[in-house]
Amino acid sequence: MSTLVASTGNVVRQFGTFSAEIQMGSGSTVNRDMSVANLPVITQDFDIQEESEDINEFKINLSDINIKIFDGLSEGESLFSYIEALTNSDTIRIKVITTIGNFTGTDVFISSKSACKYDWRARTVEMTGTAALRRDVEVTGYSISSKTSPDGWVAPKDLITQFLLTQGISPTVKIIGHFFDYDVTDLAVSPAPVGTPKYLVLPSTSINTYNSAQLKFLRLSVIEGAVIGTMMGYAFYVRRNYVEDVSDNYAEISADDLENFGIEFNARNVRNVDYDFNFTDQTGTARYNPSTQTINSSGAQDLDVAYGAGGYKTVQYDGSDSFDEIDVTLDGYMTQARIDQVGGDSKESYENALGIVSSYQVTFDIFGVGSLKPYQYIEFQNDIHPALNGKKVRASYLEYDLENDLIKGEGYIIG
């Protein structure tokens, strides 16, 4: 079977341009033209899951694409026949390029034969794809070597950056509200840092593969209460409750920008929430574990949000061109004050996301797919409704409908 590479070329719409390419099969490459019946819908669910026993469960909250392609390809060929020839273990690679204003973003999704549907009457193939992270697809472009200090250490911020850069093709990386804001330059020995600072780091050998980096990345995001995702050309890691008056962090939405909005009251009906976050280095374990929080004694469910981050090291500049692990008898980087700050921010993030702080959540339909970037929070203006006026809302679900130039979503109040 040949390798099919089918592409649309640029499709012009009100928001800008769109193009798509699908690739499947093996062997010599066959290039064909294809046409889409409708521009795709790209979605991502950021919502908190009710079961958090397994870190892998958090990997399902990444972006999806649904696209309809006409069966007829150039040269009189059929897309259906190529899909039919695939095995159940073969993958289909979907690449979409969207230009909105001056920004061009590329997203890559993985699909399979079982995720395709053929409609004989419409002569279309409907295909659903998911982000590579969700499918455990090995990404060969991952490397941490450029962000490793001379002593072999990697800062958590650089781990996140390098991992996000592998999602899609040259994505624009956004890391917002991350506690560990130092990077490899702080771990360099020339010029020597002033004094003897401590840092919480990872040995580069513990995250030198994509899968090992993925596990550390996901655990950090859970402990920090961060939204992670790859969508519309962006790869992002954003703490859920982070509110900062910096223009790129939020989008102002007024009544003229809204097609519709709705309110949902007490959607989760939570009874109790337990939090237990910890970081372990050579000095021991720093734990944030407040008492059980009762939200509603007659609520319908209890939630546990509990994760540990192991394998870290606390290092300190020794004054002679080297960062070394500190002695186990000394205090690690994660003092009680630091773990309380990380845990407290995370707890607040989950309280917002779970609807504990506010009794209602918001649904919205916003005109223009360029009106809200997926990592931004919404700042509603004061011309809408008393329930929304002046409120800051973080999305728990986003749907970019490129065909209708519309963003649909759900969100919770963070300010």
pLDDT of residue 133: 58
Percentage of the chain modeled with pLDDT above 70: 91
pLDDT at 203 > cutoff 50: yes
Residue 399 located in a structural domain? no
Do the domain assignments include residue 104?
yes
Q: What is the pLDDT of residues 128-141, one digit of tens each?
A: 998 865 444 546 67
Spatial CB neighbours of 205, under 8 Å, sequence gap ≥ 6 = 152
Tell whether 117 is covered by a domain.
yes
CB under 8 Å, gap of 24 or more: what pairs does 138-142 form? 138/210, 138/211, 139/166, 139/167, 139/210, 140/210, 141/165, 141/166, 142/166, 142/209, 142/210, 142/213
Task: Write the DSSP string, 363-397.
Answer: EEEEE-TTS--TTPEEEE-TTS-TTTTT-EEEEEE
Whole-model pTM: value is 0.90
pLDDT category of residue 143 using cuts at 50, 70 and 90: very high
pLDDT at 54 over 60: no
Residue 114 lies in a domain: yes
In this prediction, residue 58 has a pLDDT band, given cuts at 50, 70 and 90, of very low
Predicted local distance difference test score (pLDDT) of residue 302: 78
Residue found by looking up tokens 């798509």 in the block:
20
Q: What is the count of structural domains for the chain?
A: 1
Q: State yes or no: pLDDT of 329 exceeds 50.
A: yes
Domain assignment present for 391: no
Task: State how far the Cα of 129 lies from the Cα of 123, in Å rounded to an integer.
Answer: 20
pLDDT tier for residue 13 given thresholds of 50, 70 and 90: very high
Q: What pLDDT shows up at residue 84? A: 95
Query: What does the pLDDT average to over 261-290?
Result: 87
**Would residue 136 be called left, alpha or beta, if left means φ above 0 and alpha means ψ between -120 and 50 degrees?**
left
* Within a domain: 86: yes
Structural domain boundaries, residue 38: 3-135
In a domain, 111, yes or no: yes
Does the residue 26 lie in any domain?
yes
